[in-house]
């Protein structure tokens, strides 16, 4: 049993699920700080988000494995059970079905509680899950993968969670969502920047393949500045809590991630760049969550 749990923990990329869990937590705390919170809706909405994310990762691995486009997956995910043969493609299909069923049932619960607008959020999420890597659209192969990461882990989760808890759209939530959205997108940019040689062979037209690795690194720097400016201006003009300035403490980490990514011709910089990009996404989101938690506690 222990071996089985460890194998599927690795196969599901469990540590990476934090990039969907934290934006959902951020949305929940934001709604609570504004006086709108329901424990049941929040828990089921969060479960649906995380299970949809897990399904998307399984789908991504399934089709990349079938196509032979493994890139840096061995290095990124270390001893991948799918690559090592501990998990079969058929078992991955079963895992996809289980994750999607859990996400669907969670969505049904939220739909019953909130109403029909939830269908739009669920449909958008499922569209990304199914067609990020899988045919016929293969959106990640058409240069849209980075954009979808931004939408899925930023506005779709944060604005969506706030909406299902408060019943209304929030411009504040949209501004806040830029932070997890941009920094999670940068995780994908780092991966794709180092994967360019493999992606070219497999016909995967990612952003770094289309416009060059140097352009991708510059984009990381520019969009990171954009995220910090959104927080700074939001806090300065009172749209976001004053505690939101805490997110700017992660600027050195963002700069370090860009520095390592700029060394894309040296494979030894892949793990540091990826590690810092993931840490940045998590810590910046946690900083904003803490800002709203402190506002809730003080108010």
Provide the pLDDT confidence category of residue 59 given band limits of 50, 70 and 90: confident
- Which residues are within 8 A (CB) of 238 and not within 5 positions of it... i.e. 6 or more apart? none
DSSP letter, residue 79:
S
Q: Which residue has the higher pLDDT, 251 or 168?
A: 251
Cβ–Cβ under 8 Å, residues 241 and 291: yes
Task: Write down the pLDDT at residue 70.
Answer: 57
269 compared with 57, residue with greater pLDDT: 269
Does residue 137 surpass a pLDDT of 80?
no
pLDDT at 78 over 50: no
Are the C-beta atoms of residues 102 and 47 closer than 8 Å to each other? Answer: yes
**Is the pTM above the cut of 0.85?**
yes
CATH number of this structure's domain 20-292? 1.10.600
Q: What is the dihedral of CA 49, 54, 57, 62, to 10 degrees?
A: -130
Band of pLDDT at residue 11, cut at 50, 70 and 90: confident
**Distance between first and last Cα of the chain:** 47
Tell me what pLDDT residue 16 has. 82
pLDDT at residue number 240? 96
Instruction: Choose between 261 and 59: higher pLDDT.
Output: 261
Q: Specify the pLDDT at position 14.
A: 76
Tens of pLDDT, residue by residue over 161-215, are 999 999 888 999 999 999 999 999 999 999 999 989 888 887 888 999 999 999 9
Q: Mean pLDDT over residues 266-290, rounded? A: 94
**Which pLDDT value is given to residue 79?**
56
Mean pLDDT for 124-146 is 81
- CA 200/CA 196 separation, integer angstroms: 6
Cβ count near 124 (within 10 Å): 15
Answer whether residue 23 shows pLDDT above 50. Answer: yes
Tokens of 22: 């934290």
Asked if the model's pLDDT at residue 77 lies above 50, the reply is: no
At residue 50, does pLDDT exceed 90? Answer: yes
Which of 123-132, 140-149, 205-214, 266-275 shows the lowest per-residue confidence on average (mean pLDDT)? 123-132
- Using the predicted structure, report yes or no on whether residue 35 has a pLDDT greater than 70: yes
> How is residue 264 written in tokens?
């894309």
Q: Do 189 and 146 touch, CB atoms closer than 8 A?
A: yes
Confidence of residue 140 (pLDDT cuts 50, 70, 90): confident
Q: What is the pLDDT of residues 87-131, one digit of tens each?
A: 888 888 899 999 999 999 999 999 999 987 888 888 888 888 778
Q: Tell me what the pLDDT averaged over the chain comes to.
A: 89
More confident residue, 126 or 20: 20
**Is residue 68 predicted with pLDDT exceeding 90?**
no
Contacts of 166 (CB under 8 A, 6+ apart): 31, 34, 36
């Amino acid at each position: 049993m222990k071996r089985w749990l460890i194998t599927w923990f690795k196969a599901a990329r469990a540590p990476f699920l934090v990039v969907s869990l934290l934006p959902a937590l951020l949305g929940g705390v934001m709604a609570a700080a504004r006086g709108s919170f329901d424990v049941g809706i929040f828990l089921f909405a969060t479960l649906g988000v995380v299970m949809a994310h897990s399904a998307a990762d399984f789908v991504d691995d399934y089709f990349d494995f079938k196509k032979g486009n493994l890139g840096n997956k061995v290095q990124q995910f270390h001893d991948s059970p799918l690559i090592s043969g501990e998990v079969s493609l058929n078992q991955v299909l079963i895992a996809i079905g289980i994750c999607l069923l859990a996400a669907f049932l969670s969505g049904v619960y939220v739909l019953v509680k909130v109403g029909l607008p939830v269908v739009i959020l669920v449909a958008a999420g499922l569209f990304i899950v199914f067609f990020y890597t899988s045919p016929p659209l293969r959106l990640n192969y058409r240069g849209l993968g980075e954009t979808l990461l931004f939408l899925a882990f930023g506005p779709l989760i944060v604005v969506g969670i706030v909406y299902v808890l408060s019943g209304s759209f929030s411009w504040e939530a949209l501004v806040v969502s830029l932070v997890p959205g941009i920094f999670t997108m940068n995780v994908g940019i780092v991966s794709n920047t180092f994967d360019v040689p493999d992606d070219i062979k497999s016909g995967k037209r990612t952003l770094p393949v289309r416009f060059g690795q140097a352009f991708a690194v510059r984009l990381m720097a520019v969009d990171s500045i954009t995220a910090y400016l959104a927080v700074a201006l939001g806090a300065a003009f009172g749209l976001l809590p004053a505690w939101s300035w805490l997110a700017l403490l992660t600027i050195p980490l963002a700069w370090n991630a860009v520095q390592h990514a700029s060394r894309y011709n040296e494979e030894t910089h892949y793990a540091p760049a990826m590690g810092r990009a993931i840490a940045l996404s998590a810590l910046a989101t946690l900083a904003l969550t803490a800002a709203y938690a402190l506002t809730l506690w003080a108010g």
